[in-house]
Amino acid sequence: MPIPHQQIPTPLQKLVSPVFAQAGIEVWIKRDDLNHPLIQGNKWHKLKLNLEQAKQQGAQELISFGGAYSNHIAALAAAGKAYGFATRGFIRGDELAHNNQAWSATLKTAAENGMMFEFLSRSEYRLRHNPSWLSDLQQSYPNGFILPEGGSNPLAVAGFESLINELNQQLDFSHLLCAVGTGGSLAGMAKFARADQQVWGIASLKQADYLIPQIKDWIAEDKQNWHLWTEFHGGGYGKTTDEIINKTNEFETQFNVLLDPIYTAKLVYGFYQLLSNGCFKRGSRVVLYHSGGLQGREG
């Protein structure tokens, strides 16, 4: 399904550095941040099959959930606009309801792309996974297609098959590293990567081990080719440290690639930590997956 302004395949950019040469590894970055200005990176892979399903079902509105800085919400609004769906975002934080001065750049952009918002208190927002609350919501919006927070569901996971095929045509990689929020992208990449290719997720939130059973469920087969690293979150979701900020600045200057502070900055930081801990054998061919989210830099 083509989308206006979309660049596919995205470039696989080699990162050349004496540090990598010394460790005897080669490193690339998969520039999926370039695939679309707003439906960037992993968002496109997670949404594409869901959009097809929504069309087939005759849905008229895409509905989902997120915080004020959710890249998924921004991407959903842009996708709705591009494909002729209305969009509705259930946003955490009822204090934002009558205060659009306080909206993040993400919410403002989503609103410009036509998204309607329903602001929920923190306690109401907790119901977003509750089956009976969701079924009432579906009844209230019979023409709506409901996507979970972060857009991760089995169709989202299936959407990574084409990414892995594209990447395998570009390079016979040994390791693929991605940032993790819900784990849907990690599950999709691990599901479609070969058994001899390692897919490593770097969690951007604290105590992310709870994601592991869900990731296994999404993969839905016994694959041993993945790992979730949970120690590089820098204090938790949306938080950071001077060490992460310094590494981000160094990486951006050295390679001329911008990162987002919430996900890909921690991916890059985690990668360098793993490298200095000797986790890559000589001869490894490592790909860092740039999942986009760059509109999040605007706050």
Ligand X SMILES: Cc1ncc(COP(=O)(O)O)c(C=O)c1O
Binding flags for ligand X, 17-56, as an x/- string (CB under 6 A): ------------------------xx--------------
Peptide bond into 9 cis (omega under 30): yes
Contact flag: residue 185 with ligand X (CB under 6 A): yes
* Least spacing, CB of residue 136 vs ligand X, in Å: 25
> Of residues 109, 152, 284, 295, which one binds ligand X by CB under 6 A?
152
Q: Give the whole-angstrom CA distance, residue 48 versus residue 43.
A: 8
Whichever of 23 and 38 has its CB closer to ligand X, that residue is 38
Residue nearest to ligand X (CB): 293
Residue type, 52: E
List the Cα angle 35/171/10 in 5-degree steps. Answer: 10
Find tokens 């604290």 and name the residue: 206
51-60 burial, b at 16+ Cβ within 10 Å, e below that, comes to beebeeeebe
Closest CA to 63 of 22, 116, 18: 116
Whichever of 144 and 293 has its CB closer to ligand X, that residue is 293
Contact flag: residue 80 with ligand X (CB under 6 A): no
Whichever of 186 and 190 has its CB closer to ligand X, that residue is 186
Cα Rg of the chain, angstroms:
19
> Of residues 89, 144, 159, 292, which one binds ligand X by CB under 6 A?
292
Number of residues that bind ligand X (CB under 6 A): 19
Whichever of 26 and 182 has its CB closer to ligand X, that residue is 182
Contact flag: residue 179 with ligand X (CB under 6 A): yes
Contact flag: residue 71 with ligand X (CB under 6 A): yes
Binding flags for ligand X, 203-242, as an x/- string (CB under 6 A): ----------------------------------------
Q: β-strand 285-289 against 175-180: which pairing, if any? A: parallel
Whichever of 180 and 286 has its CB closer to ligand X, that residue is 180
Binding flags for ligand X, 253-282, as an x/- string (CB under 6 A): -------x--x-------------------
Binding residues (CB under 6 A) for ligand X: these are: 41-42, 71-72, 150, 152, 179-186, 260, 263, 291-293
